[in-house]
Amino acid sequence: MKCPACGFNTFDYLETCKKCGSPLKAKPRHRIIHEPFAEPAKQEEPTIDKKPIEEIKQIPVPTESQYELLFEEPSELKEEEEILDFDLAGFITRGIAFLIDMLILLGIATLTLASGLFFANANLDIRSANFMNVIITIYLILLLVSSTYFVFLHGFGGRTIGKMIMGIRIIRDDGELIGLREAFIRWVGYFISLFCVFLGFIWAIFDSKSQTWHDKLAGTYVVIE
Contacts with 167 (C-beta within 8 Å, 6 or more apart), sequence order: 224, 225
CB neighbour list of residue 87: distance below 8 Å, 6 or more residues apart: 223, 224
Q: Which of the pair, 172 or 21, is modelled with greater confidence? A: 172
Residue 172, CA distances (Å) to 16, 86, 129, 175 in order: 123, 11, 46, 5
The lowest-confidence range among 23-32, 165-174, 180-189 is 23-32
Domain boundaries, the chain: 1-36, 91-224
Model pTM?
0.58
Residue 79 pLDDT greater than 50, yes or no = no
Least confident of 111-115, 126-130, 189-193: 126-130
**Mean pLDDT across the stretch 48-62?**
55
How many residues does this entry show for the chain? 225
Give 133-155 pLDDT, tens digit per residue.
777 877 888 888 889 999 999 99
CB 164 within 8 Å of CB 157: no
